[in-house]
Amino acid sequence: MHIHILGICGTFMGSLAALAHEAGHRVTGCDANVYPPMSDQLRGLGIELIEGFDADQLALGPEVFVVGNVVSRGNPLMEAILDAGAAYTSGPQWLADHLLPGRHVLAVAGTHGKTTTTSMLAWILEQAGLAPGFLVGGVPLNFGISARLGNVSAVRPAGAGAPFVIEADEYDTALFDKRSKFVHYRPRTAILNNLELDHADIFPDLEAIETQFHHLVRTVPSTGRLIVNARDEALQRVLQRGCWTPVQRFGTRREEPGGLCARGEPHAFDVLRGSLKIGRVEWSLIGEHNQMNALAAIGAAEHVGVAPEAAAAALASFENVRRRMELRGSVRFGAGSVAVYDDFAHHPTAMHSTIDGLRRKVGAQRILAVFEPRSNTMKLGTMKAQLPWALEEADLAFCLQGDYGWSARDALAPMSASAVVADSVDALVAQVVAAARPGDHVLCMSNGGFGGIHAKLLAALGARAA
């Protein structure tokens, strides 16, 4: 089959293209900005990429156009597809129709931690010899790629299909399908990691997102399993709407029979079922959020036959995901050094958890938090009041003021002199470098490229230290 993908350089659509190519389909695609790293990855596979959405791409004549959710009405190619009555579908629907049938789908849903937990789960299954397929909204360092089909012929002893692990996003599917992406995947195992208000550009309130999560719950069979964060009140409300599937809770109190919980620090902890130790995790990751992610992955892996003890041991060699507390470099600075990190955190809760994890690691050393309110939710100012709380464990905070329609200076006023706002990346870099001291940890947080701030900081720190 020849498919032509509109919006092919997005993380999900680019990964879908790689999977379709691996499965033997002819794949072409287009995007407004054909940009690396996805463009390099796709061209390396021999996939033809076209810049822009010109209507003349209709002449390619694919069996179906696969439309990404970045495409809206008024897009020249989309209008041509509609006028011609050509076949079109969404990325999630094409995946569900052509690559997921017969597979044991393990879906990882939640406001935070989807990419990391999906990567953990795929690595656990890999270490167990199951050679899973996966689609991750990032690049797991253990695999070096964001998607693969895996061993499609492998059948588990219980007779279920070969495992496929997928990051299950609640964002809408396409201009013609406003359901969340994850309702298409029909998982047999589903992790519900956490649930908060996000994507304020498409969801009016938390209840609307809870409704979408309940749609996901409705698709999981009675022979499946839900792995649910016991601490999350929104998820408990979701289950109260109706649940037809056995539930494994994690993050429970130790006295709760059957629940998974942790005993110890996030970098070294026992995994307990109730009060019984069933495994131990010792790894390089930090933060209580990653401890919770690990419990979820261990619970999901058990549903496909991986013993918790083996799953916990596998995490010792888990290398995390690019842009998750990724050390971009360290510069010799006076009597010490200054480290610069990159992290994808962009929601206040994620920012708070990320800073807390770094604080546990570095102790009393200073943390300089540098962030860009770039997500649609943050641009709308929906969560600006939570920013002082999100940044409370940082010693200094530096924010990029964009054309958001709200004032970052006003939002951060409760932090007084410990918060600085700049109108450009270069000005922000100058302010960070002027404030830096030996031993500092500079944590940059954004869901975008942040104007290349990491390289600029390292260069400017090096110049000042010279």
pLDDT tens sequence across 104-126 = 999 999 988 899 999 999 999 99
Q: Who has greater pLDDT, 77 or 159?
A: 77
Query: Judging by DSSP bridges, how do beta strands 147-148 and 133-135 pair with one another?
Result: antiparallel
User: Rounded to whole angstroms, how far apart are CA atoms 186 and 175?
Assistant: 21
Q: Which residues pair with 195 in a beta bridge?
A: none
Nearest to 353, CA basis, from 192, 112, 168, 110: 112
- What pLDDT score does 347 carry? 81
Q: What does DSSP assign to residue 162? A: P
Return mean pLDDT, the chain: 90
User: Rounded to whole angstroms, how far apart are CA atoms 399 and 368?
Assistant: 11
Mean pLDDT along residues 417-421: 87
User: Rounded to whole angstroms, how far apart are CA atoms 63 and 26?
Assistant: 10
Sorted by where each starts, the structural domains of the chain and their CATH numbers stand as 2-94 (3.40.50.720), 100-317 (3.40.1190.10), 326-465 (3.90.190.20)
Give the whole-number percent of the chain exceeding pLDDT 90: 58
Residue ranges of the alpha helices (H) in 330-402? 348-362, 376-379, 387-390
- What pLDDT score does 344 carry? 81
Residue 324 sits at the vertex; the CA angle it makes with 321 and 327, to the nearest 5 degrees, is: 105
φ, ψ for residue 441, nearest 5 deg? -120, 115
Mean pLDDT along residues 221-240: 96
In this prediction the pTM is 0.82
Given a contact cutoff of 8 angstroms between Cβ atoms, the answer to whether 407 and 334 are in contact is no
Is residue 36 pLDDT above 70, yes or no? no
- What pLDDT score does 159 carry? 53
Q: Which tokens hold the place of 311?
A: 């799953």
Nearest to 441, CA basis, from 387, 391, 369, 371: 369
Q: Who has greater pLDDT, 412 or 200?
A: 412
Is residue 297 pLDDT above 80, yes or no? yes
φ, ψ for residue 6, nearest 5 deg? -90, 120
Confidence tier at 83 by pLDDT (50, 70, 90): very high
- What pLDDT score does 304 carry? 96
Q: Which tokens hold the place of 426?
A: 């270069």
Look up residue 130 and give its amino acid: L
- Reported as a single tens digit per residue, the pLDDT across 191-205 is 999 998 776 677 888
- Indicate the angle between helix axes 233-240 and 206-219, nearest 10 degrees: 50
Confidence tier at 293 by pLDDT (50, 70, 90): very high
Measured from the Cβ of residue 66, the count of other Cβ atoms closer than 10 Å reads 27
